[in-house]
Amino acid sequence: MTKRTKTIYRIFFATRDKAYEIYARKVTQSDLYGFIEIEEIVFGEKSAIVVDPSEESLKNEFGNVQRMLVPFHAITRIDTVEKEGSGKVFSISAHSGSSQAQEPLMPPQGPKKT
């Protein structure tokens, strides 16, 4: 028998002031309309001697999170990968060269009925 490996996803998403690259074992469409559900967040295995500040920042922010719901429009990309890597956090202003945060997109509203 071959050892069955779990699928690992690399997810890129952004909030108002940060862009994230995280790894997770479960990514599904949420029952809550317009959201992607991310569970079982995986952090890269590092030596206790070498500390990656970006990875530590992710652990501090998401270490105790069991399930997170991310608006679908905030997700840039989802990849299936063979093994987890080191997650990263970027400042959007530093990453994109823009100091203005992007406003969330809202679905268009239909005409109001009177």
Rounded Cα–Cα distance for residues 42 and 2 (Å): 23
Q: How confident is the model at residue 45 (pLDDT cuts 50, 70, 90)?
A: low
The answer to whether position 27 is within a domain reads yes
Q: How confident is the model at residue 63 (pLDDT cuts 50, 70, 90)?
A: confident
Query: Over the stretch 64-75, which tens digit does the pLDDT of each residue have?
Result: 888 999 999 999
Those residues whose C-beta lies under 8 Å from the C-beta of residue 86, and which sit 6 or more positions away, are 44, 46, 52, 54, 55
The answer to whether position 30 is within a domain reads yes
DSSP state of 73: G
Q: How confident is the model at residue 83 (pLDDT cuts 50, 70, 90)?
A: confident
More confident residue, 49 or 92: 92
Please name every residue paired with 56 in a beta bridge, in sequence order, or none if there are none: none
The answer to whether position 3 is within a domain reads no
Q: Which domain holds residue 43?
A: 8-96
Overall domain count for the chain: 1
